Amino acid sequence: MGVFKFLVIQSVVVILSSLLAWHISQYGHQPTAYMDEIFHIPQAQKYCNGSFEEWDPKITTLPGLYLFSIGLLKPFQQILSITNRELCSVLNLRLINTLFCAGNFYLFVVITETLNKKNQQENYTLLKALTLSLMPLLFFFNFLFYTDSGSLFFILYAYYYHLKGSYSAAAILGMISMIFRQTNIVWVFFMSLCNVSRILYKQMRLESRETHTVCFLLTHSLPVFVINTVISCWSYGIVGVTAIAFVLWNGSVVVGDKSAHEASFNPPQLGYFALFTLGLSLMHLVTVTKIKQFLNNICSNAFVYMVAIATSTLLIYQFTQVHPYLLADNRHYTFYFWSKLYARFTWSRYILLPVYLFSLWSINHSLSHIHSMIRGCLWVCICAALVPQKLIEFRYFVVPYMLIRLHMKGETTRSLLLELTLYILINSFTLHRFLYKPIFWPNVEEPQRIMW
């Protein structure tokens, strides 16, 4: 990897994010805390003042972002001779995520190289990393004081070490990622499942070729399988036990306001995620060849698809969840996504079923080079991360989306440039709406801004 090219592209992404944070904070667009920042920024400022015992009960995540931010900012206080208020200003706290932005770009590069065993050209790797860095959801929250960039950084860092076989380091980083967002335990679980699948597959290959079955393994090689699994996964097991102990002690995965984040059974979330992924990866997932293959697959497995449509229809009818936040807050795109489509036309929930199925098939097809066991583990964990969520929140899709995109193969320079162009257009539209098209609420003096 050419260091010069890497640093130039990384610097462009970081400087762009920094300038946007500075522009938003210093030019009167949004100099004060906005949306969830009204909880995150005051809490970080309390920590900055040394008040570690104070906690806002409305905050639902652990204090990883605040501790990390204060740890980075405090050393500069003596150097610059500034007060706590100046040190932990809105702008300085927002700029913390630009460091995670730089880290995420680096991880996109090294994970892409690792997954492709360094067979891809340097320009391809850098283009893919640049494109993923500008993914609209991730890019937008790079210049606000949210947990998304830091959460993704540590889970990707953990996954990188997992791919390199450093499972203890991966477990430690996975634990840190959970301090940013507790639901990251799902992705630590994914890594452990990948290890178990790898050991299982390897053990099956070592046994008699005539008895390649899980039953044979469990009855004849169980001790060896268990020992290898313990050796490989003990560090992930410690993280899992810690997470279970926390939930038992806390009474829930979330801290603070548990009432707004109660677990539910919301299987349509998988359809929303599939639609989201299809929209952002249109040029990779929707091609003439893929459409033909999908139609051929339907013809070959007509009964399976009939059962899938019938089951999905029942699940949508019986288990579609509507969170109060979704209906009450018109500052999020999900409000318009729901009110203009799903709430207005009940039939739209069902008519999009073929699109959901195509999206899921196309995503799975794009991962067909991955062993079926690993793909199965990924889908299990995507369901575990999304189905219990009652609220439709696009930010919940970022980690599973990135894992899918990083594993996709077959992208061409042309398709990546098209994807990059799409991301730039979406980011431009989103920023323009956020900065220059405020909305006003009755009896509220400050303008409100539409965002993800």
Mean pLDDT of the region 427-440 = 93
Q: Could you give the dihedral angle defined by the CA atoms of residues 92, 93, 99 and 100, in that order, rounded to the nearest 10 degrees?
A: -170
d(CA 42, CA 370): 44
Q: For position 113, what pLDDT does the model report? A: 93
Q: What ranges in 164-213 are assigned the alpha helix state H? A: 167-180, 185-206
d(CA 324, CA 452): 17
Residue 145 CB-density burial (10 A; 0-12 exposed, 13-18 middle, 19+ buried): buried
CA-closest candidate to residue 171, choices 104, 234, 79: 234
Phi and psi at residue 88, to the nearest 5°: -105, 45
Mean pLDDT of the region 11-21 = 91
Q: For position 395, what pLDDT does the model report? A: 94
pLDDT tens, 295-335? 999 999 999 999 999 999 999 999 998 888 888 889 999 99
- Check residues 341 and 426 and name the one with the higher pLDDT: 426
Could you give the C-alpha distances from 58 to 4, 146, 178, 257, 347, in angstroms and in order? 45, 15, 18, 5, 36
Mean pLDDT of the region 185-193 = 97
Q: For position 88, what pLDDT does the model report? A: 94
Which residues partner with 332 through β-bridges? 451
Asked if 187 and 381 touch (Cβ cutoff 8 Å), the reply is yes
What integer best gives the mean pLDDT of the chain?
91
d(CA 269, CA 281): 18
What the block records as the tokens of 42 is: 């005051």
d(CA 374, CA 193): 8
- Indicate the domain borders of the chain: 1-143, 147-256, 263-411
Mean pLDDT of the region 206-213 = 58
Q: Which band of pLDDT confidence, cut at 50, 70 and 90, is reported for residue 134? A: very high
d(CA 391, CA 337): 13
Would the pLDDT of 224 be above 60?
yes
pLDDT tens, 267-304? 999 999 999 999 999 999 999 999 999 999 999 999 99
Q: For position 2, what pLDDT does the model report? A: 74
Cα angle: 1, vertex 99, 57; to 5 degrees? 145
Share of the chain above pLDDT 90, in %: 72
Q: Using N-to-C axis directions, what is the helix angle for 90-115 and 148-163, rounded to 10°?
A: 30
CA-closest candidate to residue 326, choices 318, 338, 317: 338
Asked if 316 and 349 touch (Cβ cutoff 8 Å), the reply is yes
Would the pLDDT of 358 be above 90?
yes
Cα angle: 320, vertex 325, 329; to 5 degrees? 125
Which H or E element spans position 73? helix 64-73
* CA neighbours closer than 13 Å in the CB half-sphere of residue 85: 0
What's the DSSP call for residue 448? B
Widest CA span in the chain:
75
Q: For position 89, what pLDDT does the model report? A: 94
Q: For position 217, what pLDDT does the model report? A: 55
Q: For position 1, what pLDDT does the model report? A: 62
Q: Which band of pLDDT confidence, cut at 50, 70 and 90, is reported for residue 382? A: very high
Phi and psi at residue 451, to the nearest 5°: -150, 175
* Amino acid present at 452: W
End-to-end CA distance of the chain: 34
Tell me how crowded residue 438 is: count the other CB atoms within 10 A of its CB: 15
pTM: 0.93
Q: For position 218, what pLDDT does the model report? A: 58
Q: For position 25, what pLDDT does the model report? A: 87
The alpha carbon of 71 is separated from its chain's Cα centroid by a whole number of angstroms, namely 25
Q: Which band of pLDDT confidence, cut at 50, 70 and 90, is reported for residue 212? A: low
What the block records as the tokens of 72 is: 């980075």
Q: Which band of pLDDT confidence, cut at 50, 70 and 90, is reported for residue 149? A: very high
**For the chain, what's the residue count?**
452
Q: For position 205, what pLDDT does the model report? A: 75
d(CA 156, CA 217): 33
Share of the chain above pLDDT 70, in %: 96
Mean pLDDT of the region 391-399 = 94
Would the pLDDT of 206 be above 80?
no
Residues in contact with 81: Cβ distance below 8 Å, sequence separation at least 6, in sequence order:
none
Q: For position 309, what pLDDT does the model report? A: 95
Q: For position 261, what pLDDT does the model report? A: 77
Residue with structure tokens 């980690």?
Answer: 399
Mean pLDDT of the region 157-170 = 96
pLDDT tens, 253-262? 888 877 777 7
Enumerate helices (H) and strands (E) in the chain, giving the number of each.
Answer: 24, 0
Mean pLDDT of the region 191-203 = 90
Cα angle: 119, vertex 122, 123; to 5 degrees? 125
Would the pLDDT of 145 be above 80?
yes
Q: For position 214, what pLDDT does the model report? A: 59
Mean pLDDT of the region 59-69 = 95
Asked if 138 and 203 touch (Cβ cutoff 8 Å), the reply is no
Q: For position 216, what pLDDT does the model report? A: 60
pLDDT tens, 332-348? 999 998 988 888 888 88
Would the pLDDT of 169 be above 80?
yes
DSSP helix/strand/coil, 328? helix
Asked if 87 and 73 touch (Cβ cutoff 8 Å), the reply is yes
d(CA 17, CA 21): 6
pLDDT tens, 92-112? 999 999 999 999 999 999 999
CA-closest candidate to residue 277, choices 405, 413, 166: 405
Which H or E element spans position 364? helix 353-366
Residue with structure tokens 């899992």?
Answer: 240
